[in-house]
Amino acid sequence: MKTIKYFATLLMMFAFTASLNAQVLTKDQEKAVKKEVKKLEKDGWKVKPGAPSLAMQITRSSQAAWEQNSEGMDKWISGEGSSIGTVYDAARSQAMTVAQGEIARRLNTDITSQIEQVLANEQFAQKEAESIAQTIVASMGRTVDQSISRPRTLMECYRDLPNGNVEVLMRLAIPSDKLDALVKAGVERARSEYLREKVEEVKSKLE
């Protein structure tokens, strides 16, 4: 059973690494990775038996942070979270929740900004575009949560604390194309809501 889990972990790591297009790190990036590995190891961070090494996980995490698409935009939206608990699983679960919350905040900010930009380009007044975008994004909470319900695990490590507790650190990511889909849906909804309001205004004037 342990052997099966080990190979399953390797396959998952290989699939994710392949999705990063076999990105080759520059010398400066390699230096940054080595520096982070050294710091984390010095602070007592380690990985579970059978998991990719700390160096491999940091490399994977760094590649995701640096990778961009053909338009020069980040290909991954990531979040980091850490938590302390008396048992590993509880601390891990909370750390994952914190990381997902960070991704959600980034998504909400980026969605709002992009919807505002699209509406402004369509001749909406700036304040009106901002108001509509904020209203639409506020109503998309469940959709955003669903988009981050199955994030990729970039990094998972832990350290034992002097008081007997354990601290777990998680780095998660989702493809940035999820952002594009949410922005598109948000813009369409904004247009629909705006048109409905204008129709209601006309109807009230005719009554």
Domain match, 55 and 144 both: no
Domain match, 40 and 126 both: no
Looking at 45, 67, 89, the residue that finishes a domain is 67
Task: With CA atoms as reference, report the closest residue to 138 among 188, 197, 186, 178.
Answer: 186
What is the CATH classification number for the domain harbouring 185? 3.10.28.20
The one-letter amino acid at 129: A
Task: Please give the pLDDT value at position 202.
Answer: 55
Q: Which residue has the tokens 């975008």?
A: 133
Task: Please give the pLDDT value at position 14.
Answer: 43
Give the integer Cα–Cα distance in Å for 38 and 143.
Answer: 39
Give the integer Cα–Cα distance in Å for 160 and 87.
Answer: 10
Domain match, 54 and 101 both: no
Is the distance from CB of 107 to CB of 147 less than 8 angstroms? yes
DSSP state of 87: S
Domain match, 181 and 199 both: yes
Is the distance from CB of 133 to CB of 190 less than 8 angstroms? yes
Count how many domains the chain has.
Answer: 2
Domain match, 62 and 140 both: no
Task: Please give the pLDDT value at position 199.
Answer: 58
C-alpha atoms less than 13 angstroms from C-alpha of 90 in its C-beta half-sphere: 6
Single pTM value for the model: 0.78
Task: With CA atoms as reference, report the closest residue to 179 among 137, 139, 207.
Answer: 137
Domain that residue 168 falls in = 70-207
Task: Please give the pLDDT value at position 46.
Answer: 96
Give the integer Cα–Cα distance in Å for 183 and 107.
Answer: 10
Give the integer Cα–Cα distance in Å for 52 and 57.
Answer: 6
* pLDDT tens digits in sequence order for the chain, 207 residues long: 444 444 444 444 444 444 444 467 788 888 999 999 999 999 999 999 999 999 999 999 988 888 876 666 788 999 999 999 999 999 999 999 999 999 999 999 999 999 988 888 887 888 888 888 888 888 888 888 888 888 999 999 999 999 999 999 999 999 988 888 888 888 888 888 777 766 566 556 556
